[in-house]
């Protein structure tokens, strides 16, 4: 039979007639061979699930600004108002302000999907670009937080791994293998190993707070909400808070957050809090009167800034600074500067 291995096809020899159906008896001097069935079979390990990067699901890279807007900005760049240039220079001075002890900036939100992780990634990147010391982006979301995705942090190590390393007494060289180096002065650490069940209050006290001593600025991305014991511990140890509130329904909750802080002994954090109103759709840009909200919040010492809609941010994949909208980059600089200013003067 053509194409069939000889061992599975017919042979040219005729089949001999069967004359004895009894099984052959083994010789007394020959050991009895075990049937093939009795050989131990090693267990078959299930195939590992393929690792899929969210970036692979994106149809094409998207820039935060349209091509027309980029061309227009290039044409008017020589005519930027002097006030805008002065404001950026002032922001730069605050971002580069020296610190005697590491500053911890907590990024919080009322609920998931507000843009908290995105903002934490943006301001951590700003600090790392303009400061001369190390900057840490720390994920404290007990679930599957988005900060590792936004910054490209792997899940090889998590905060719990640092407990045995004793970050309170160890050197940075001993801690460094547990961290993800994201380029330049930026370092990152995931909250989980890629499965739900991450940091709690006790773990943050034991490893998170001591870890911050190695960095000029630590940006902590807290989990959604503010009512857990972990949130209380993080905010009690924070030098400043960035509260993210989406323009679709989040503005009404800012007052509730301030009331909760007052009821939980965090009154002093109000003047060190900056509210960032995030626009998550190009159709929701004017749902909140941010200048009016800023006036109201200023009466209790709270600042307010609006982060506009960005097409690149909306994709939800790893952030590419080169593809961020110009307004997003400028706003991230302003938020980072104001958060650090409040952490030093509040």
Return mean pLDDT, the chain: 81
For residue 10, tell me if it sits in a domain: no
Q: Give a yes or no: residue 160 inside a domain.
A: yes
Q: What is the pLDDT of residues 220-276, one digit of tens each?
A: 999 888 889 999 999 999 999 999 998 887 777 898 899 989 998 998 999 999 999
Distance CA 222, CA 145 (A): 9
Task: Answer yes or no: is pLDDT of 176 > 90.
Answer: yes
In a domain, 77, yes or no: no
- Is residue 304 in some structural domain? yes
180 part of a folded domain: yes
Count: domains in the chain: 1
Residue 257 domain flag: yes
Structure tokens at 270: 């109000």
Question: Which string of b and e fits 84-103 if b means at least 16 CB within 10 Å?
Answer: eeeeeeebeebbebeeeebb
Which CATH number belongs to the domain containing residue 205 in this structure? 3.40.50.300
Q: 83 lies in a domain?
A: no
**Which structural domain range is residue 211 located in?**
102-345
Q: What value does the mean pLDDT take over residues 150-162?
A: 89
- Higher pLDDT, residue 192 or 182: 182
User: According to the per-residue pLDDT averaged within each range, which of 10-14, 21-25, 100-104, 315-319 is highest?
Assistant: 100-104
Task: Confirm whether 136 is domain-assigned.
Answer: yes
Cβ-based neighbour number of residue 323 at 10 Å: 17
Q: Let me know the angle formed at the C-alpha of 318 by 316 and 323, rounded to the nearest 5 degrees.
A: 90
């Amino acid at each position: 039979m053509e194409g069939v291995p000889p061992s599975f096809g017919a042979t040219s020899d005729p089949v001999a007639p069967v004359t004895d159906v009894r099984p052959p008896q083994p010789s007394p001097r020959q050991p009895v061979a075990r049937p093939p069935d009795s050989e131990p079979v090693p267990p078959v390990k299930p195939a590992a699930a393929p690792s899929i990067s969210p970036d692979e699901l994106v149809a094409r890279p998207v820039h935060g600004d349209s091509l027309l807007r980029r061309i227009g900005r290039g044409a008017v760049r020589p005519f930027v108002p002097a006030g805008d240039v002065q404001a950026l220079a002032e922001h730069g001075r605050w971002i580069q302000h020296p610190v005697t002890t590491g500053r911890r900036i907590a990024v919080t939100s009322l609920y998931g999907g507000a843009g908290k992780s995105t903002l934490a990634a943006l301001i951590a990147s700003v600090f790392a670009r303009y400061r001369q010391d190390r900057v840490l982006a720390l994920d404290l979301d007990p679930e599957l937080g988005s900060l590792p995705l936004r910054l490209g942090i792997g899940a090889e190590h998590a905060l719990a791994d640092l407990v045995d390393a004793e970050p309170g007494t160890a050197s940075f060289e001993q801690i460094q293998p547990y961290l993800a180096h994201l380029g330049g002065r930026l370092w990152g650490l995931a909250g989980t190993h890629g499965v739900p069940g991450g940091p709690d209050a006790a773990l943050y006290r034991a490893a998170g707070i001591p870890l911050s001593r190695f960095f000029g600025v630590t940006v902590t991305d807290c989990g959604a909400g503010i009512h857990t014991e972990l949130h209380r511990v993080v905010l009690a140890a924070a030098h400043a808070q960035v509260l993210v509130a989406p323009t679709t329904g989040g503005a009404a909750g800012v007052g509730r957050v301030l009331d909760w802080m007052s009821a939980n002994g965090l009154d002093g954090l109000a003047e060190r809090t900056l509210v960032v109103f995030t626009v998550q759709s190009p159709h929701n840009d004017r749902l909140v009167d941010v200048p009016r909200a800023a006036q109201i919040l200023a009466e209790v010492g709270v600042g307010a800034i609006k982060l506009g809609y960005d097409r690149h941010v909306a994709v939800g994949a790893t952030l590419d600074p080169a593809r961020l909208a110009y307004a997003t980059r400028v706003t991230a600089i302003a938020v980072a500067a104001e958060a650090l200013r409040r952490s030093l003067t509040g």
